Amino acid sequence: MGMEREENIYMISAIVEHKPGVLYSISNMFRRRGFNIESISVGEAEQPDLARMTITIKGDEMLVEQVVKQLKKLISVIKVSILDPKNTVARELALIKVSTPDARVRSDVINYTEIFKGHVVDVAHESLIIEITGDTDKINAFIELMKPFGIREIARTGIAALPRGMRSVKME
């Protein structure tokens, strides 16, 4: 004992059965074990009966090991891996609705959006919706930039991630 307790952000990729109740059993397990999840995203995976979950969690090595083991213990969870941040592509998508009361603000917002390689996906009289993808830091930076203009609503997907190259987290 007396282990080093260094807190880090870990990304976990899990292949799970794509059926009712699975998300509930996973999120319920996180709640009951007191694991604090930073972000979670789910979507269909390579096969339609499988879903891929990407979970980001802050903690030390022992905690992450427990998270992985507790996930594996669930019968509907098929495969779990910790992703190495250096060899992982991680992206998040955010939709941000910004107030644009006049033309000057509007053009500022559009300029920033271009710099961040985002897209304007909805235009209304007094607001724009911007779609932006990237890693969490980039999205956070963009949100900070938008704050002074007045953010009305934000929807973020949570992180989706895959290991680079030939490494894979999938069903054999």
Partner 1 sequence: MVRMSGAKALVEALKRENVKVIFGIPGGAILPVYDVLYDADIWHILMRHEQCAAHAADGYARASGQVGVCMSTSGPGATNLVTGIANAYMDSSPVVAITGQVPRPFIGKDAFQETDIVGITTPITKCNFQVRSAAEIPKIVRTAFYIASTGRHGPVLIDLPRDTQIEEAEMNFDEKIELRGYKPVYEPHPLQIEKAVQLLIQAERPVIVAGGGVIASNACSELVTLAETLLAPVATTLMGKGAIPEDHPLSLGMLGMHGTVAANYMVQDADVLLAVGMRFSDRSTGNIKTFCPNGKIIHIDIDSSEIGKNVRPHIPIVADAKKALQAIYNRLIEKFNRKERSVWLNRVQELKRMHEEMVKNSGDGIKPPALMAEIRRILPNNAIITTEVGQNQMWAALYLKVYKPRTFISSGGLGTMGFGFPAAIGAKVACPNVPVVDIAGDGSFIMTEQDLASSVAWKLPVIVIVLNNSVLGMVAQWQRLFYNRRYSAVDLKRIPDFVKLAEAYGAQGLRAQSIEEFRWALKTALNSDVTTVIDVPISSEENVLPMVPPGQDLRNLMLS
Compute CA 117 distance to the chain's CA centroid, rounded to the nearest angstrom. Answer: 19
Distances from the Cα of 141 to the Cαs of 10, 86, 112, 115, 147, in angstroms?
21, 21, 11, 12, 10
Name the residues that contact partner 1, by CB under 8 A: 1, 3, 16-17, 21, 24-25, 28-29, 32, 62, 65-66, 69-70, 72-79, 171
Residue whose CB is less far from partner 1, 69 or 164:
69
Residue placing its CB nearer to partner 1 in the complex, 57 or 132: 57
Q: How far is the CB of 118 from partner 1 (least distance, A)?
A: 38
Q: Which is nearer to partner 1, 65 or 122 (CB)?
A: 65
In angstroms, the Cα distances linking 109 to 73, 139, 149, 153 are 47, 15, 8, 15
Smallest gap from residue 108 Cβ to partner 1 (A): 48
Locate 166 and state its tokens: 């030939």
